[in-house]
Structure 1
Amino acid sequence: MSTNGQIQSESRSARAPAVQITATLEAVMVAMTKRVLGLGCAKVEYAKGKQRCRQEAEYLRYEQVLQLNDQPTDSDGSVVLRPGNKYEYTFRFELPQQGQLVSSYKGKFGYVQYYVKALIERPHQATLECKKPFEVEEPLDVNTPDLLSPTGGMKEKKVTCMFIPDGQVSLNAKIDRRGFCEGEDICINAKFENTCSRIVVPKAAIIAKHIYQANGRTKVFRQKLSAVRGNHIISGMCDAWQGKTIRVPKIKPSMLGCNIIRVEYALMIYVHIPGSEKLILELPLVIGTAGLGSRSNSVSSQEGSVSNASQSWVSLRMPSGPPSYADITSDCRLDQPLTPLLDDFDGDESPIFMNAPTFNFPPPPVYTEVDEEFSGSARMLPVC
């Protein structure tokens, strides 16, 4: 027995997955009961020392008994299924309203899974069963006033060297909103100040926090998704980010409605300080399924058609020829790759490495001298 066909759970208008069950047999089988179940549950399991933490939560349970009306039925209600025939049954079941389910999820210490299970109960024999999973994605709109409002913060850290004060490092950052979708850019406005004697590096990263709860315990798994960095800041100097962007990668939306599993995102803006702990500022993010781009799809499509029409005549022009090599001035000092002044790492134990770039200057050109002691016509002596 096998399930055949796709379960259309993405259709949020009807919210009625269509399921087709196909049973093929190799021998005669007496079937007492034919049932179909639609199940959805969340499960967390991990080890805490010698103890196994485990907890489950159910979000969907649907059961239906199949009736094969075109097959002869015995007095006890059993049906004889014979080999060589194909028995098919198609049915639909309604999913709960939006907001009552949790999106499908698979993580390191837990999962949220939905599937359809078909069972055939046989007398005095084991029950035959098979199942097919399907995806559920609950919509999460980030066009709410709370998620469209700006957020920011400020942090500072005093730096010491062998218990001796060594100045401080501070940062002040702000973003224009908290709700984003995959593929969108997060614009960061930040100011960094370094008054310690070390060279620091400002950075930013999108962090995912997977929170698992089981048996009254909580386990958090952090994951860095994407990152950007700024220029080095030497002692006594400042630096500012004005609209520095970091793109949201292809990730699952935030999962906030599950009782035992939560997926939260944050923008971590931090300063790497060699020989000391990082200065970290975390701004919470909400990754949704419908963002600002969904409201302007029609406008952008119209603008795209107009721009394509206006640029169609440009493509008819002949491209200009390449520049002449004689017009290109080369600088031998730039032939070597540029290396940063400071090679830093994210580890707290990383030392400071000062790497000075090496320049290879060309040899001096050939020149000539005039022999003044020679009487008569001047003779040119080449000197290399």
Structure 2
Amino acid sequence: MLLERVKRLAVVLEPPCAESPPSPSPSCPAGGGSFAPGERVCGRVELEASGAARLSALEVSAHGCAKVHWSESRSAGSSTAYTQSYGDRVDFLALRLVLLAPPAEDGGEALVLQAGRHEFPFSFQLPETLATSFEGKHGSVRYWVKAKLRRPWAMVRKAKTEFTVITPIDINTPALLAPQAGTKEKLVRAWYCNRGQVSVSAKIDRKGYTPGEVIPIFAEIDNCTTCSVVPRAAVIQTQTFVARGIKKQKKAVVASIVGESIAAGRREVWHGRALKIPPLGPSILQCRIIQVEYALKICIDIPRTSKLLLELPLVIGTIPLHRFGSRTSSVSSQYSVNVDWLRLGLLEQPEAPPDYSLVISSEETVEHLSPPRLDDPTRVPEGPFFAFIQEFRFRPPPLYSEVDPNPSPENGIRPRCMTC
């Protein structure tokens, strides 16, 4: 039968031409490859027929959109309840290409495709502005390529392949290299009694990081209360979904560390406490209905009262920090500099300066070294001090020597003239 003559229909995408394309993160769907906005996506539609098959058209289309959806229970009284749904959609990509169609002079009749395997290549250009692929609880950002095979007197056969788009975020920018710091304090009370104050000051060297990097945390915690407190630090991911002006947020702890307990009246100092960033999806800040943000949160657990929280913003990027592209890669690197690359341009033995006779001719040397003639009115300088300056102006430099001509005594004290 006609339906059985097309055995296989598939869409295959070629990998991008970049040398090291970004790999999908846990929050990005895995698909036919990872692409950046503005790149060209190339692929082919593979069709395998067991016999001669009649076709009306073969077309391929590329799509990309962001969708959000969630439901909330509402109560209108003691006995009345209903569910309110929220949803929205933003389209980023919509392209359509016709790969196979009957010629117009044939009157639009179906084509006959011989038995065997056939490939139909295609390519399309991605727009410059796209949101990063994302999969969340209340929304997603997805991209896919779909092929449709139309046949006379038969259902349309479809094949679909998803691919990942990762918008590059370069952390080598002044805004993302700026240090982040903050201070917070809390007055602890219990049963209307003042139990003291807890304060925390924290700093990180920059705002932008990439997965796999370590955040050195510099913090100072003062516990001026009568009880022990426990400091913590964590990287928080906040997913924000927007629909019809209503926001829905979902927060998750993606990495955390716990410090030692701080006794009453004591102070704890973190000298670059390391917090490693796990594999994460990059920040999404340009999408209207879905945003993914990160923050470093310093938390002080205080018994029998609320916590003291200090939050510093973070941006998870895709392009790591350049070794020499910025002034520092961490706070600790501000105090230690790798000078191996500087030694490449330095010689092991210092080179002696050139001889003075090579710089200036012998005639000029005699002329410049000869004292001014006082009988010549044109050679007499004006002013009481200019004569002394003119005398020492063109004298040759001292001879180069690696041995100090005036060595210091062994005891390090120079002899002084008693008559002075």
1:20 corresponds, among 26, 30, 44, to 44
1:35 corresponds, among 38, 54, 59, to 59
* Per-residue CA distance 1:119-171 (angstroms, 9 max, x = gap): 12234443221110011111100111111111111111121212322212111
| TM-score, structure 2 as length reference | 0.66
1:107 corresponds, among 127, 136, 146, to 136
Corresponding residue of 1:2: 9
Q: Distance in 2 between matches of 1:202 and 1:39?
A: 47
2:68 corresponds, among 40, 44, 52, to 44
Corresponding residue of 1:133: 162
1:116 corresponds, among 117, 136, 145, to 145
CA contact (8 A) 2:11 2:147 kept: no
Look up the equivalent residue of 1:166 and give its one-letter code: R
2:286 corresponds, among 240, 245, 257, to 257
Corresponding residue of 2:382: none
Evaluate the alpha carbon distance shift between residue 162 and residue 247 of structure 1 in structure 2; reply closer, same or farther with a 3 A threshold.
Answer: same
SS of the equivalent of 1:225 reads strand
Q: Which runs of 5+ in 2 are unaligned?
A: 1-7, 17-33, 74-82, 326-336, 345-420
CA contact (8 A) 2:35 2:166 kept: no
Q: Distance in 1 between matches of 2:269 and 2:55?
A: 73
Look up the equivalent residue of 1:85 and give its one-letter code: G
* Per-residue CA distance 1:86-121 (angstroms, 9 max, x = gap): 232011111112xx0111111111111111000122
Q: Distance in 1 between matches of 2:194 and 2:232?
A: 24
SS of the equivalent of 1:5 reads strand
Across the two proteins, how many residue pairs are aligned to each other?
298
Q: Distance in 2 between matches of 1:188 and 1:236?
A: 22
1:61 corresponds to 2:94: yes
1:76 corresponds to 2:108: yes
Q: Distance in 1 between matches of 2:287 and 2:40?
A: 22
Evaluate the alpha carbon distance shift between residue 47 and residue 132 of structure 1 in structure 2; reply closer, same or farther with a 3 A threshold.
Answer: same
Q: Distance in 1 between matches of 2:312 and 2:98?
A: 51
Corresponding residue of 1:94: 125
Corresponding residue of 2:389: none
CA contact (8 A) 2:12 2:161 kept: no
SS of the equivalent of 1:66 reads strand
CA contact (8 A) 2:62 2:146 kept: yes
CA-atom RMSD in angstroms:
2.7
* Per-residue CA distance 1:185-235 (angstroms, 9 max, x = gap): 111111111122221011100111111111221111111011112221111
Corresponding residue of 1:322: none
Corresponding residue of 1:208: 237
Corresponding residue of 1:353: none
Q: Could you tell me the percent identity over the aligned residues?
A: 35
Corresponding residue of 1:225: 254
SS of the equivalent of 1:146 reads helix
Q: Distance in 2 between matches of 1:14 and 1:245?
A: 37
Evaluate the alpha carbon distance shift between residue 161 and residue 254 of structure 1 in structure 2; reply closer, same or farther with a 3 A threshold.
Answer: same
CA contact (8 A) 1:210 1:262 kept: yes
Corresponding residue of 2:373: none
Rg bigger for which structure? 2
5 Å-filtered alignment, 1:247-326, equals 247-293=276-322
CA contact (8 A) 1:7 1:134 kept: no
Greater Cα shift, 247-256 or 28-37: 28-37
Q: Distance in 2 between matches of 1:295 and 1:35?
A: 49
Q: Which runs of 5+ in 1 are unaligned?
A: 307-384
